[in-house]
Chains A and B, each alone.
Chain A
Amino acid sequence: QVQLQESGPGLVKPSQTLSLTCTVSGGSISSGGYYWTWIRQLPGKGLEWIGYIYQTGSTYYNPSLKSRITISLDTSKNHFSLKLYSVTAADTAVYYCARGDNIGHNNWFDPWGQGALVTVSS
């Protein structure tokens, strides 16, 4: 079955760029009509949808983060990536990648990666 695994630095300095990669195994990232998604969980708080990239490369971002993020796809490596620019301590969170699926207009996330804790601190 499909599995996802996040990787990247666990510590980022304020004002720098957070970069994470999600490697997909057990299936191709360029088929199936899925939405490759990033979600984060702020410490002790709920879940925030960051955005997704479709297999064609089209993206959709949360407007609250849109000016600071880029999600990209690398089909040769079967992974997708997140860049979050100009980070602050408020961006400290566990970052999850997930596969988005849908029936008609309803979109859900399954499966998820195990999560990557990223701390923003000098």
Chain B
Amino acid sequence: KNEVEQSPQNLTAQEGEFITINCSYSVGISALHWLQQHPGGGIVSLFMLSSGKKKHGRLIATINIQEKHSSLHITASHPRDSAVYICAVSPITGTASKLTFGTGTRLQVTL
């Protein structure tokens, strides 16, 4: 079992829909990261959070430390949101820089 699990693996939505991507982890963490990767493109760090909620534009990330779960929400989705969204965690022991990655959620937003 992977230490970081994401669901769903693939997601198709129509423009304007509210989207939720989930991430569950099984290890103690000091922080959780949400990353975005467009097809053939680089990786962009969207959020780093260790508690509560963060919002940036139409993106909202939440984390529940007790339940070891995080969600990434996209409001009013748009085709330009089509990308792979990757959850990654920084371990609480050892070196916090050593991220463990989920396998990603591929999002396709259609008109």
Chains A and B are bound partners: no
